Amino acid sequence: MDRILLDAGSGGKASHRLIHDLFFRLLDNDYLTRMDDAALLPVSGPVAVSTDGFTVSPLFFPGGDIGALAVHGTVNDVAMLGARPRFLTAAFIIEEGFLVADLERIVTSMAKAAKEAGVLVVAGDTKVVPKGAADGMFITTTGIGEVLAQPAPSGHRARPGDAVLVSGFLGDHGLAIMASREGLSFDVPVVSDCASLNGLVEAVLAAVPEVHVLRDPTRGGLITTLNEIAAQSGVEIQVEEAAVPVRPEVASGCSFLGLDPLYLANEGKLVCLVPEAHGDAALAALRAHPLGRHAARIGTAKAGPSRVVITTPLGGQRLADMLEGEQLPRIC
């Protein structure tokens, strides 16, 4: 059988074959293969929980695929609470006729991403919908982690004086998806940054006694994330545009397409706010990690209205609000 048929989601024999022959083989662990209605996990509270649906198009893109993304994205959301992600659940909604080889490639990629991040996929579900009722495949993952830092980093904890850091180049994921979807190529290939950031988070937490905010700037990009933090904490966030790391090829690709890299999704970057006194230590900890080599301090939180103000390279200032409308659908 080279395509997924409706009966693979029936709960009957074909479902069981798919579960045993593909999911259990690739994601093998004792929690999953017990096959009870729920998995029993040895975590003690408080636990951090996050869920995300993935609808990215195309399913395979430079630097990753929907399977890797579904692991990285949820691992990162859990990690942003200063927690250690330990378990994932994964629910697949698959269009009838989907290639089994593509499913195998996607689940293999999930397994690899999960192993690298140190998480186990402990429960799952598969539904198959008739041809035309979904576009290929959607995956929803939920992550469960153990809290490492108390109080946990939160968008509510930014304080005037905090240093604002990012862990590396922005906009790679968004532009890679856009280019892949539109069949564009650049002289220097643009590749998604998708990666699990839990190791990077642990490095920062170990280096700095007080991390106020951790957040990954996915949909809506850096500016949307900073606006959320400004609103939640009641601070003004000032950003030096020239300090924000953007690869030259991403800057020129965005310029060509009329996109702003500061609003483009990232899947392997974090924003970090720490008290001014710990700014240098946090930056050093980020840069010492392979996923944070290009980290930079990009600004400062101030007492002021809840907003994001960008200082341009020429010294001008402008408000940077969240976007109205949709710059780029199905980015994650």
Using CB under 8 A, which residues numbered 62 to 121 contact its own copies? Answer: 76-78, 80-81, 83, 87, 89-93
Least separation in angstroms between CB 61 and its own copies? 16
* 224 lies in the site for its own copies, by CB under 8 A: yes
For position 23 contacting its own copies by CB under 8 A, the verdict is no
Q: Does 35 bind its own copies (CB under 8 A)?
A: yes
Map tokens 């020129």 to a residue. Answer: 252
Check binding of 330 to its own copies (CB under 8 A).
yes
Burial class (CB in 10 A: 0-12, 13-18, 19+), 24: middle
Site for its own copies contains 306 (CB under 8 A): no
Exposed, middle or buried: residue 1 (CB in 10 Å: 0-12, 13-18, 19+)? exposed
Site for its own copies in 163-222 (CB under 8 A): 215-216, 218-220
122 contacts its own copies (rule: CB under 8 A): yes
Query: CA 301, CA 238: separation in Å to the nearest integer?
Result: 6
Out of 100, 134, 251, 284, the only residue in the binding site for its own copies (CB under 8 A) is 134
Q: Exposure of 274 by Cβ count < 10 A (0-12 exposed, 13-18 middle, 19+ buried)?
A: buried
Alpha carbons 315 and 223: distance in angstroms, whole number: 19
How many residues in the shown chain lie near its own copies by CB under 8 A?
A: 89
Give the chain's radius of gyration (CA, Å).
20
Least separation in angstroms between CB 89 and its own copies: 4
Q: Is 58 in the site for its own copies (CB under 8 A)?
A: no
Tell me the C-alpha to C-alpha distance, in Å, between residue 310 and each of 248, 250, 301, 317.
20, 19, 12, 6
Nearest residue (CB) to its own copies, 55 versus 109: 55
Contacts of 22 (CB under 8 A, 6+ apart): 100, 103, 104, 107
Give me the least distance between CB of 77 and its own copies, in Å please.
4
Pairing of strands 137-147, 83-95: antiparallel
Q: Which one of the spans 41-49, 179-187, 204-212, 305-313 is the region binding its own copies (CB under 8 A)? A: 41-49
CB 139 within 8 A of CB 105: no
Q: Structure tokens of 164?
A: 């604002």
Nearer to its own copies, 5 or 243 (CB): 5
Judged by beta carbon, residue 47 or residue 243, the one nearer its own copies is 47
Return the range that interacts with its own copies (CB under 8 A); candidates 44-52, 180-188, 199-207, 235-243.
Answer: 44-52
Shortest approach of its own copies to residue 119 CB, angstroms?
13
